[in-house]
Structure 1
Amino acid sequence: MQMICLIYFFILLVMSLTSFFLSIYFMLIDLSLILEFNLVFINSTSFVMSILMDWMSLLFMSFVLFISSMVIFYSSDYMHGDLNLNRFILLVVMFVISMIFLIISPNLISILLGWDGLGLVSYCLVIYYQNVKSYNAGMLTALSNRIGDVALLISIAWMMNFGSWNYIMYLEFMKSDYFMMIIGSLVILASITKSAQIPFSAWLPAAMAAPTPVSSLVHSSTLVTAGVYLLIRFNFCFSEFLMTLLLILGCLTMFMSGLGANFEFDLKKIIALSTLSQLGLMMSILGLGEYYLAFFHLLIHALFKALLFMCAGNMIHNLNNCQDIRFMGGLIYFMPLTCVFFNISNFALCGLPFLSGFYSKDLIVEVMSMYYVNFFIYMIFYISIGLTVCYSIRLSYYLLFGELNFFTLNLINETGVFMLKGMGGLILLVVFMGSLVMWMMFSTPYFICLSFLMKLITLFMIIVGLILGLEISKFNLLFKIKSLKFYKLSFFFSVMWNLPYLSTLWVNFYPIILGKKYSLFDQGWLEYYGGLNLSFQLVYISKFFQFLSVNHLKIYLMMSVLWIIFLLIII
């Protein structure tokens, strides 16, 4: 089985490197290609498959392929002993192929193939460990994503008005067209379901029921980034209203997830909420019209988030599948290399100078500071930066420096060579790729013109978040305050502003309760006094008329007598 994993790893790695060098070449000569393959030609109608090759699609594809190759290499050790390892690897490969379909498509029909492929394969992967929790999470994930799929299908129907589904051709000059506004709105709806923005955020932490290598792939470069990538491609056709809506939704998601991660104790859910926070950041900068920056952060975030999940997976693997951070602690003594990787990824997530996350995150915040936006957006951005550092330091404290609360007799070690090599393949990119991609993408650097105080405010918020995170972890402030109001507030924050309840109970629980109440009325009485009784009455009347029409002499004479009596009464 490990041999199959290594073959897939090698193929994906070679494809990734090829794609990366091609993207550099395309970028240098400013080249974009649309390749058309004629699939079927019937009665002068040709069915064409289009492929878009430009520096953006090739660069993103290289990142997706590289991360997936490392994840498959890592899985050969993590999933060792699994009876269905071959099926798992094939599902991961199908997942990657669906994502590549989506990346290289300039056509809405082929985008839908990749889009739906991601949705279906993600369902199979989320329910991989077959238990009730996985089934519920899988159904929530699939149905949430179906809303976006339907929006995309409707946008395909609307795009028939243009005579072609190759959206890339006429995004900009059809911007003010009414049909394009509708298509833009539907694309935004599709993207916020796939990228789990408010109010569709509940499925993202629920999808943590999948195996950890899948979480690493899903939360870094595939499923959740598909929505952001689609918006980057469509960004030319959005009106000001849609951009403002995107900005507000992104900011709210960023704030909500950052707040929720500070109250969470499940290791994978904390990292999932941090993904949600970064997606909110990408969406909000897209709302300001800076699609280059959103794409830059998308690439860099993919690297450190994949590594973060891999480290978490190694810890969970060694802690006998325990995911509660309160049981962990002092892991720096047992798993030094994993903890070093974990800390570097965490610092990159925080935007610590001069790791890769700093180059994209700091640039986004500084560009936002130069825009004419209101005070609410400023506050949300800077508070969210503080919260990111806060939950990252809290996580590091619980995992690395706190006291070990696990079994006294344990065997926590770093024997998984394949897992460590898989993580080691990403660590150099997490450290250096931020500056390299920035030098590569931005031929002319962004000109940031801010006062000294405004330049330092990002660093100030990082330090405030660091101190707050340490204090919360050290003194356990959240549990020293015994007031009921505080407990209610902390519970409200930890359940993502009740979004999981609205997404699950509101959709299935209340209709079932309503159905039970309705069933009291519908135990045969409505049927008896409704359609059934009406049919009985009609049959009875028809039988009566049939009886009259038999024409017996006795009945005829009786009717005659009745008729005479009737006449006498009237006269």
Structure 2
Amino acid sequence: MNKKQFSICFMSFFFLFFFSLINFFMMIYFIMNNMNLFMEWEMISFNSMNIVMSILLDWMSLLFMMFVSLISSSVIYYSQSYMKSELNLNRFIMLVLLFFSSMILLIISPNIISIFLGWDGLGLVSYCLVIYYQNIKSFNAGMLTALSNRIGDVCILMVISWMMNYGSWNYIFYLNFMNNDFSMKIISIMIILSAMTKSAQIPFSSWLPAAMAAPTPVSALVHSSTLVTAGVYLLIRFNSLMIDSLFLKLLLLLSGLTMFMSGISANYEFDLKKIIALSTLSQLGLMMSILSMGLPDLAFFHLLTHAMFKALLFMCAGVIIHMMNDNQDIRLMGGISMYIPLTSLCLNISNLALCGIPFLAGFYSKDLILEMVLMSNLNLMIFYLYYFSTGLTMFYTIRLLLYLMVNDYNLLTIYNLYDEDYVMLKSMFMLLFMSIITGSFLSWMIFNYPYMIYLPLNLKLMVIYVSLIGVFLGWLVSNMKIYSVNKFLMSYKLSLFMSTMWFMPNLSTYGLNYYFLNFGQNMLKNLDLGWYELYSSQGMFKIIKNYSIFNSYIQMNNLKIYLFSFILWMLFLILMLMINMN
């Protein structure tokens, strides 16, 4: 890395870290004084037409901006070392900063058009980052990501057109008093659909593990606090619009199935980054399901706590992949805690926070969410989906830890195993500190009222029961003891079904993308470049061209034409004479 690249990295890190501190202090001030700040900047005024940029600052947007900028700063600092052999490091830093800017625009917008600018900016820059390594796998993953997210973009465009009915695109003014309006029902359906595509709920789940083709620092940013959480944040903002909507009940079912499906698939997966991506998918399902039950503050709480330990988890995975000579298969790892103890410490704490071990960040949000689920009047299926998914989280986490650290030494080489990359460790320790304190720090800051949860003892201890069963099953699977227990569980067809996310990539690639694109190509070939051309522009062109050629041929004073026309006239006269004589 040359001096110019280092200075750009350091300046970007310093700016983002300073920006996160400013947001933190502003958020404290806004909460203590119960303030909201709505600003409008009139950019163009022409006759009766105004183009206005609106900004909404409240405790929620400021707190989220603080988290996004803190994670972005640690990712850029981490990239100094992780991407030091990259020739175009400046381009990478610029893309990360563009990504950050798009997310900030989405967070502070009370206006659906400026939300769309941030939303589409996220989609475009994420495509550029996913195809960053420019090989066939990256191109395919980038195309799947872009096309899956286009569905959500189209829904936002339809919301923009529907909001013409109200005379303004500042949706923040309409949420509380137009719940029974038909247009608002259409808008709420479109918003839910767009949030499902961006947050990768069933049936749009397959793009999220495919996006692991991006560099690991990008994965740490994308899958913790920016791209995948944009849909959740949008639904939190629009939540008052969607009370008692039938579509929310469908969202509850689909997000519960997403949690369950991703938890099972993570237990069949051997790619380190994909296991972490599937755990992100599971947590997104948890956020969306608690949102669809009408508890946006809990969803926001879990979104923030999850962002910290998930970014840390990806960074630890990046260090391990680097040291394993770019190998991502967990079957070829083992006993790494002997060689890289500090990275192993960060990985263990972030994994335990993900599991909801008491007094780490994940515990405060997950435990509260599960107890609120028990308090609500849901059916047995949703209850089972929640608790099975919680057990599966423990299952794949313990399996991963045993494969990486406890199981026998199984490495290809230990030549690269050293724990002295202090640039990466500093950025990881910053997030490690936040992963430990974030839960308790946010739990007394966000909720200005206590949740009263009254449950029987067995239901209160249900989370612990399920977690212990998950730990036991993870230990069995990582030691290969379960394979001899039941051959049905390990049959080839069932394993294929479970490990390929219930055939979701095939459905997305062939069902959603391939056939539609093929249909579009046929339409283009047969209609746009075929019949439409023949009967409109090309057809007219050929007729006029033939007439022009004949006309110019006549005007050439050619003797043959005169003789031919003279003979025709004579024949015509003879014919007329014969008719008159008769």
TM-score, normalization by structure 2? 0.89
Question: Do the aligned residues in 2 keep the contact of 1:243 with 1:289 (CA within 8 Å)?
Answer: no
Listed one character per residue, the Cα deviations across residues 110-144 of structure 1 (whole Å, up to 9, x for unaligned) are 11111011011001100110100001111111111
Q: Does 1:359 align with 2:364?
A: yes
Question: Do the aligned residues in 2 keep the contact of 1:548 with 1:555 (CA within 8 Å)?
Answer: no
Task: State the alpha-carbon separation in 2 of the partners of residues 412 and 275 from structure 1.
Answer: 27
What is the aligned partner in structure 2 of residue 322 from structure 1?
327
- Partner secondary structure for residue 322 of structure 1: coil
Q: 1:123 aligns with which of 123, 127, 132?
A: 127
For 1:60-459, list aligned pairs within 5 A.
60-238=64-242, 239-408=244-413, 410-459=415-464
Task: State the alpha-carbon separation in 1 of the partners of residues 95 and 350 from structure 2.
Answer: 27
Listed one character per residue, the Cα deviations across residues 66-118 of structure 1 (whole Å, up to 9, x for unaligned) are 01101111110000121011110111011011100000000001111110110
Change (3 A) 1:159 1:475: same
What is the aligned partner in structure 1 of residue 475 from structure 2?
470
Listed one character per residue, the Cα deviations across residues 181-211 of structure 1 (whole Å, up to 9, x for unaligned) are 1011111111111101111111000000000
Aligned length: 556
Listed one character per residue, the Cα deviations across residues 511-559 of structure 1 (whole Å, up to 9, x for unaligned) are 78889999xx99xxx99xx9999x99xx9xxx9xx99997444466579
**Structure 2, gaps ≥5 residues long:** 551-560
- Partner secondary structure for residue 224 of structure 1: coil
Sequence identity, in percent?
56
Amino acid at match of 1:457: M
Q: 1:18 aligns with which of 22, 25, 40?
A: 22
What is the aligned partner in structure 2 of residue 497 from structure 1?
502
- Partner secondary structure for residue 114 of structure 1: helix
How far has the Cα of 1:273 moved from its partner? 0.4
- Partner secondary structure for residue 229 of structure 2: helix
Question: Do the aligned residues in 2 keep the contact of 1:329 with 1:405 (CA within 8 Å)?
Answer: yes
How far has the Cα of 1:479 moved from its partner? 7.9
Listed one character per residue, the Cα deviations across residues 210-249 of structure 1 (whole Å, up to 9, x for unaligned) are 0000000000000000000000000011142022122111
How far has the Cα of 1:410 moved from its partner? 2.6
Change (3 A) 1:36 1:329: same
Task: State the alpha-carbon separation in 2 of the partners of residues 361 and 114 from structure 1.
Answer: 29
Task: State the alpha-carbon separation in 2 of the partners of residues 512 and 197 from structure 1.
Answer: 22
How far has the Cα of 1:402 moved from its partner? 1.5
Change (3 A) 1:500 1:453: same
TM-score, normalization by structure 1? 0.91
How far has the Cα of 1:413 moved from its partner? 1.1
Question: Do the aligned residues in 2 keep the contact of 1:208 with 1:269 (CA within 8 Å)?
Answer: yes
How far has the Cα of 1:41 moved from its partner? 2.2
- CA RMSD in angstroms comes to 3.0
How far has the Cα of 1:42 moved from its partner? 2.1
Listed one character per residue, the Cα deviations across residues 478-501 of structure 1 (whole Å, up to 9, x for unaligned) are 488666981111111111111111
Change (3 A) 1:432 1:512: closer
Amino acid at match of 1:291: P
Q: 1:2 aligns with which of 6, 10, 13?
A: 6
Amino acid at match of 2:103: M
**Structure 1, gaps ≥5 residues long:** none
Question: Do the aligned residues in 2 keep the contact of 1:235 with 1:291 (CA within 8 Å)?
Answer: yes
